[in-house]
């Protein structure tokens, strides 16, 4: 279904005022900047999803390009802003939610590598899906209702183990009916005629499909299930197993939980993206959904999927960028941007893009932290004058690592929200 989408005018109005605010920030706060330079770098502590972690924490990633790196040896050419230092723990979306609202890192061994207080959270599923739009921040020092902005995009890839498949050079292709049938548990063997139509195998294969799914709460599960709910209704395999981040086994009950996916009993169940990759790699016939960045790191193939326009697209940065062209902000709250990308219409679009969200606080006690966070957006991630140096250009860094930057209109809206609502007074 083609949807004419555009960002809300309120957010775009904010983006216009954001330029004024950003200029005012540069002019009005030289004393604060001078104070920052005289002291130790401002610590910006965050935690959350695993899928964007490489982009954020790699030696040439965003956090180590913009601020002082951890360890310092990562900054080969020096940071863009020496007054800032990021620390990020990839604890997963589930662990990050409570940590964000209580501002306390989870006690889970070495993963808890950031001190309190938490300054931001990174989640794959939006606040409203989790029922957290109106949840008030507890603990200290920061407070207020949460702010949500998209930061970067990836994709949910459908990966597979090619052993024994005798795939053609282009790899597997899955029509919508095919991947809907696979994830509903109704297509169970590579000998199924739909797979033979999608990918011309040299001969019919008698190889069982082993679907691998996440057992832990995951934004990836939410993104896949929302997409399947949207696109599978017009196929012989409609999706009726729920939409959400939580995974359980069995058929949906009469009154299903609104944030739970009920998977077929015969699917393989593993905890975390890295375990999904390992399980696919050692099981011939395995098919799984996984963040594209993780798939690339694990050197696993990805199937080309049929999109809304009827074309097949693989999860390349270019195809993900195309999927964001018609991104629609569906949340009326001016502090929250949620992009609807569940069924992109562009003919070159990859059909399951994955938007990564940053959660921020409405009120930060430390004004230096406010300056540092705004600077990260204004001077780097959503800059209106990005660096021509590819090693310092946020978009190019993202593309080089398999991610997709946000379109300019979305960046403008994000910058507007950050400059308007991230503050020390909570207004």
289-347: pLDDT as tens digits: 999 988 998 999 999 999 999 999 999 999 999 999 888 899 999 999 999 888 899 99
The C-alpha atoms of residue 63 and residue 46 are separated, in whole angstroms, by 11
Q: What homologous superfamily is domain 9-154+323-421 in, according to CATH? A: Periplasmic binding protein-like II (3.40.190.10)
What pLDDT score was predicted for residue 50? 83
What pLDDT score was predicted for residue 203? 57
Domain limits of the chain? 9-154+323-421, 156-315
Which helix (H) or strand (E) segment holds residue 32: the answer is helix 30-38
- Residue 279, pLDDT above cutoff 80: yes
- 284 or 23, higher pLDDT: 284
- Residue 271, pLDDT above cutoff 80: yes
- Residue 12, pLDDT above cutoff 70: no
DSSP class of residue 381? I
Question: Could you check whether 9-154+323-421 and 156-315 share the same CATH topology?
Answer: yes
Residues in a beta bridge with 356: 152
The C-alpha atoms of residue 123 and residue 359 are separated, in whole angstroms, by 7
What pLDDT score was predicted for residue 110? 46
Q: Compute the average pLDDT of residues 110-115.
A: 67
* Of residues 10, 33, 3, 5, the one with CA closest to residue 374: 33
Q: What homologous superfamily is domain 156-315 in, according to CATH? A: Periplasmic binding protein-like II (3.40.190.10)
Percent of the chain's residues with pLDDT above 90: 66
What pLDDT score was predicted for residue 108? 58
Which helix (H) or strand (E) segment holds residue 304: the answer is strand 304-306
Per the structure block, which two tokens stand in for 35?
């104070």
155-213: pLDDT as tens digits: 999 999 999 888 888 899 999 999 999 999 999 999 999 998 898 655 557 899 999 99
What pLDDT score was predicted for residue 74? 79
The C-alpha atoms of residue 260 and residue 263 are separated, in whole angstroms, by 10
198-248: pLDDT as tens digits: 986 555 578 999 999 999 988 899 999 999 999 999 899 999 999 998 999
What residue has token string 């905890």? 271
Q: Compute the average pLDDT of residues 266-280.
A: 95
Task: For residue 98, count other CB atoms closer than 10 A to its CB.
Answer: 12
Report pTM.
Answer: 0.82
Distances in Å between the alpha carbon of 127 and those of 130, 135, 244? 5, 9, 12
What pLDDT score was predicted for residue 28? 40
The C-alpha atoms of residue 194 and residue 246 are separated, in whole angstroms, by 30
Per the structure block, which two tokens stand in for 420?
């308007």
What pLDDT score was predicted for residue 204? 59
- Among the residue ranges 36-45, 49-58, 376-385, the one predicted with the least confidence is 36-45
The residue count of the chain comes to 427
Q: Do the bridges between strand 84-89 and strand 173-174 make them parallel or antiparallel, or are there none, so unpaired?
A: unpaired
The C-alpha atoms of residue 357 and residue 342 are separated, in whole angstroms, by 15
What pLDDT score was predicted for residue 170? 84
- Judge whether 189 and 178 are in contact, CB under 8 Å: no
E strands in 165-296 = 173-174, 210-214, 246-249, 260-263, 268-270, 286-291
3-state DSSP call for residue 356? strand
Please list, in sequence order, all residues whose beta carbon lies within 8 angstroms of the beta carbon of residue 289, skipping any fewer than 6 positions away.
156, 157, 158, 159, 183, 213, 214, 220, 221, 224, 276
Q: CA neighbours within 13 Å on the CB side: how many for 215?
A: 10
Q: Do the bridges between strand 260-263 and strand 246-249 make them parallel or antiparallel, or are there none, so unpaired?
A: parallel
- 123 or 24, higher pLDDT: 123
What pLDDT score was predicted for residue 6? 39
The pLDDT-based confidence of 353 (bands split at 50, 70, 90) is very high
Average pLDDT, the chain: 87
What pLDDT score was predicted for residue 427? 64
Percent of the chain's residues with pLDDT above 70: 88
The C-alpha atoms of residue 259 and residue 241 are separated, in whole angstroms, by 11
What residue has token string 């086994």? 249
Q: What are phi and psi of 275, to 5 degrees?
A: -70, -35
- Residue 137, pLDDT above cutoff 80: yes
Buried b (16+ CB within 10 A) or exposed e, 244-283: bbbbbeeeeeeebeebbbbbbeebbbbeebeebbebbeeb
Residue 301 burial by Cβ neighbours in a 10 Å radius (0-12, 13-18, 19+): middle
* Of residues 316, 400, 311, 320, the one with CA closest to residue 352: 320
């Amino acid at each position: 279904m083609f949807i004419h989408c555009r960002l809300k005018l309120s957010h775009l109005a904010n983006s216009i005022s954001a330029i004024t605010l950003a200029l005012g920030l540069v002019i009005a706060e030289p004393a604060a900047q001078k104070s920052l330079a005289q002291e130790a770098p401002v610590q910006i502590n965050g935690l959350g999803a695993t899928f964007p972690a490489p982009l954020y924490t790699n030696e040439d990633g965003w956090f180590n390009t913009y601020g002082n790196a951890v360890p310092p040896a990562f900054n080969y050419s020096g940071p863009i802003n020496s007054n800032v230092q990021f620390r990020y723990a990839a604890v997963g979306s589930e662990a990050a939610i409570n940590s964000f609202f209580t501002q306390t890192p989870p006690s889970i061994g070495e993963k808890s590598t950031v001190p309190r207080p938490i300054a931001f959270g990174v989640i794959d599923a939006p606040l409203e899906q989790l029922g957290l739009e109106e949840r008030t921040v507890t603990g200290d020092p920061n407070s207020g209702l949460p702010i949500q902005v998209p930061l970067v995009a990836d994709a949910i890839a459908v990966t597979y183990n090619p052993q024994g498949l005798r795939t053609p050079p282009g790899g597997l292709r899955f029509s919508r009916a095919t991947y809907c049938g696979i994830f509903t548990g109704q297509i169970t063997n590579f000998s199924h005629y739909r797979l033979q139509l999608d990918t011309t195998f040299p001969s019919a294969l008698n190889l069982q499909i082993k679907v691998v799914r996440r057992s832990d709460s995951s934004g990836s599960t939410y993104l896949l299930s929302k997409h399947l709910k949207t696109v599978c209704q017009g196929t012989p395999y409609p999706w009726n197993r729920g939409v959400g981040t939580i995974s359980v086994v069995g058929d949906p009950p009469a009154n299903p939980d609104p944030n739970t996916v009920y998977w077929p009993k015969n699917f393989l169940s593993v905890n975390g993206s890295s375990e999904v990759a390992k399980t696919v790699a050692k099981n011939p016939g395995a098919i799984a959904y996984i963040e594209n960045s993780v798939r690339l790191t694990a050197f696993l193939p990805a199937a080309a999927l049929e999109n809304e326009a009827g074309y097949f697209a693989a999860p390349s940065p270019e195809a993900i960028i195309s999927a964001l062209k018609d991104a629609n902000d569906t949340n009326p709250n001016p502090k929250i941007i949620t992009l609807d990308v569940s069924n992109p219409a562009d003919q070159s679009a990859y059909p399951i893009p994955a938007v990564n969200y940053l959660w921020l606080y409405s009120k930060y006690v430390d004004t230096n932290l406010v300056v540092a966070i705004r600077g990260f957006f204004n001077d780097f991630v959503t800059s209106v004058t990005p660096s021509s140096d590819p090693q310092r250009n946020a978009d190019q860094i993202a593309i080089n690592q398999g991610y997709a930057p946000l379109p300019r209109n979305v960046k403008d809206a994000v910058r507007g929200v950050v400059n308007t609502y991230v503050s020390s007074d909570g207004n």
